[in-house]
Chain A
Amino acid sequence: MNTFLQQVINGISQGSAYALIALGYTMVYGVLRLINFAHSDVYMFGAFMGYYLANNRWVQSRLGTSPASAIVIMLGAMILSAGLGILIERFAYRPNRSASPFTLAFWFGILGAAAGQLIGQSFATLVAGAGIGILIGVVIEKAGLRPVKQDSRLGLLIIAIGVSLFLENGGQQVFGADPKFFPEIIPTTLMNFGSLKVDSQKLIVLGVAVVLMVLLNLLVHYTKTGKAMRAVSHNLDAAKLMGINTDRIIAVTFAVGSALAGAGGILVALLYPRIDPLMGVTPGLKAFVAAVLGGIGNITGAMIGGLILGLAEVMAVGYGESTYRDAIAFIILVLILLLKPDGIMGKGSTEKV
């Protein structure tokens, strides 16, 4: 019985991490009908930002290993992740649907920085390269080259794949491809509930995840911004006509979703301290499955889907074949899509002929 409860707790805390990532997927799909493949890499980014913050001497000297430092690290990572999310939305997804100046400058700047780093290994060449790239980008844009606005979901999906590849390889270049170890910013103590031994870290992960999900719910259902987000996810054009600044709301959605992913990254890094630039790939896919399981576009669904997936995986490993662990997610995915594609909470929609 104890091992069973142990597994359940494992499953729930694993699942809550999946849920946090799944929320980002589902929110973005809700407003843009886009499967943001790059989302899993924001999760990775969050973990790395946490890592660098935790190892930062200022933070260490001022706050030590107190709960305050953990909070600072968490918030810092979330804010930085939100920033990344906003950048991605602005320069990769938005140009597809509305005016987006400096897009070329942004990407050329990145190419320039990469070239600069390649030629000379210093920070100076990187900045110089970036500067030249931005300049060229601005000039070409002024000369008239604009992104092609198109209503293609396939095109958006390809762009998402491109951004994901960019972040993963960029991460390998900037952070180094070899794994790093996330420091213990919260001390682990083994707590005893009768004969049940529970790792305090798992409870903290669960607790933080729950708090974040509650806050999200408050945002979505009790604020004006939340209402706007829901409106945009129902009907973008109608929302526009109602005076909602849809570009801003979409940016906010990305920011919130990315912040949650970043938080997820830190929480998972607490449970499994080994982090590397490709750590987002598998959990990302699984979180996506969780979102689909719950009904993609549905926030409560993402939370439920995450929990179910976490439990299913832990149970499969605990009581079944561990080599098939990764396959569990895909089997669930395929079954759901074939049997009830709208997920647990979703409702069907029919096309008007």
Chain B
Amino acid sequence: MKKWLFWFSAIVVLAAMQAGVRDVIGPYYFQILILVGINIILAVSLNLINGVTGQFSIGHAGFYAVGAYTSASLVYYGQTSIRAAISFLPHMAQDVVLLLLGLLAGAIAAGIAGLAVGIPSLRLRGDYLAIVTLGFGEIIRVLILNIDAIGASRGFSGIPLLSNFFWVYFFVLVTVVVVHNLVDSSYGRAFISIRDDEIAAEAMGIDTTRFKVMAFVISSMFAGIAGGLFGHFEMNLHPNSFLFTTSFYLIIMIVVGGLGSIEGAILGAILVTVVLEAFRGFGPFRLVNFAVLLVLIMLYRPQGLAGNWRLFRKAGAR
């Protein structure tokens, strides 16, 4: 009962906001609001593998890119045939179908990439895992840079504008709910046990490889969705949006917010995106100060800004 009510009211609220928010806050802040939403999806999903399962992956931008380019390709190259197939629907509904198909394709492609990267990599420990995921992220980027059909180094332009405030924040909600529910189950306990003590987890019958890969694939699928939403908003994609610096910024988001908690990931995503975007006017100094702030937070408050604060009913994600 409560579930249907929650989703129904959420959809109503989001739709209402969608109608007016851009006019109320202006296009500049609207852009930031959208980016915040996309980064929340990225941060919360990254937190699942890094914070909850304790596997240090710094190649998230790679899956973000796979999702973005896959979704864009499907829509760009397929829209005529798809629209023809559903021509009985009103144009707006066709847009929705296109977007959802694109996001689905992006999520699946990113998930497959996650599987391909995860299976060989996840048997490595700590630092080595971090570097191998970094390496894979860069390999994905260089591959994209060399595929002509999706723009290569010129970039992929002409992507239809299909995502908007409603869809971005709808998927923010979906991501948060899915990750939260997953953590509050035997799967979540398995993930956390792997983070806390992998050897003990194995001894208690938890197939750590299977769960690590599971967390990795789920987290990359959401990165793929974020990518699709990003591409269909910017209408333009370039491999330079997916450098390893992007992966670094995502790590900074979840660490500054507080590693291991969904609240921390959300807080970190909001904070870092706002600092990066809104202070653009201050020149390179914003990044210098930002970097110093990062070092200071890590030295003086390593548990992140959210620390142990929890908003959602305690789910064991500490």
Residue positions of A touching B, CB distance < 8 A: 33, 35, 92, 95-96, 103-104, 107, 110-111, 114, 117-118, 145-148, 150, 152-155, 157-159, 161-166, 169-170, 172-173, 177, 285, 288-289, 292, 323-324, 326-327, 330-331, 333-334, 337-338, 341, 351, 353
Question: Is B292 interfacial (CB-CB < 8 Å)?
Answer: yes
Interface on chain A toward B: helix, strand, loop, or mixed SS?
helix
Task: Flag if A334 contacts B135 (CB, 8 Å).
Answer: yes
Task: Flag if B252 contacts A158 (CB, 8 Å).
Answer: yes
Kindly state the separation between the CA atoms of A326 and B244 in the bound complex, as whole angstroms: 13
Per CB-CB distance, the 10 closest pairs between chain A and chain B, nearest first, are A166-B291, A165-B291, A162-B294, A169-B287, A327-B142, A162-B295, A333-B135, A147-B299, A337-B132, A330-B135
Cβ of B212 to closest chain A Cβ, rounded Å: 15
Cβ of A101 to closest chain B Cβ, rounded Å: 13
Cβ of A330 to closest chain B Cβ, rounded Å: 4
Please name the residue on chain B nearest to A117 by beta carbon.
B285
Partner of B138, one of A33, A150, A163, A330: A330
Q: A residues within 8 A CB of B301?
A: 148
Q: Which of B112-148 contact A (CB under 8 A)?
A: 120-121, 124, 126-128, 130-132, 135-136, 138-139, 142-143, 145-146
Kindly state the separation between the CA atoms of A118 and B286 in the bound complex, as whole angstroms: 10
Task: Flag if A324 contacts B146 (CB, 8 Å).
Answer: yes
Q: B residues within 8 A CB of A154?
A: 56, 126, 255, 259
Cβ of A133 to closest chain B Cβ, rounded Å: 10
Question: Is B4 interfacial (CB-CB < 8 Å)?
Answer: no
Interface on chain B toward A: helix, strand, loop, or mixed SS?
helix
Task: Flag if B291 contacts A341 (CB, 8 Å).
Answer: no
Q: A residues within 8 A CB of B56?
A: 154, 157
Count of B interface residues, CB-CB < 8 Å: 42
Kindly state the separation between the CA atoms of A118 and B252 in the bound complex, as whole angstroms: 25
Cβ of A238 to closest chain B Cβ, rounded Å: 22
Encoded as 1 (CB less than 8 Å from any A CB) or 0, chain B from 289 to 318 comes to 111101110111110000000000000000
Partner of A334, one of B132, B251, B255, B289: B132
Most buried by B among A33, A92, A117: A92
Task: Flag if B292 contacts A111 (CB, 8 Å).
Answer: yes
Kindly state the separation between the CA atoms of A155 and B130 in the bound complex, as whole angstroms: 13
Question: Is B283 interfacial (CB-CB < 8 Å)?
Answer: yes
Q: A residues within 8 A CB of B283?
A: 173
Partner of A155, one of B126, B252, B292, B302: B302
Kindly state the separation between the CA atoms of A146 and B284 in the bound complex, as whole angstroms: 29
Task: Flag if B284 contacts A169 (CB, 8 Å).
Answer: yes
Question: Is B8 interfacial (CB-CB < 8 Å)?
Answer: no
Cβ of A25 to closest chain B Cβ, rounded Å: 11
Q: B residues within 8 A CB of A333?
A: 131-132, 135
Kindly state the separation between the CA atoms of A331 and B132 in the bound complex, as whole angstroms: 10
Question: Is B199 interfacial (CB-CB < 8 Å)?
Answer: yes
Kindly state the separation between the CA atoms of A323 and B271 in the bound complex, as whole angstroms: 37
Question: Is B28 interfacial (CB-CB < 8 Å)?
Answer: no
Question: Is B248 interfacial (CB-CB < 8 Å)?
Answer: yes
Task: Flag if A166 contacts B292 (CB, 8 Å).
Answer: yes
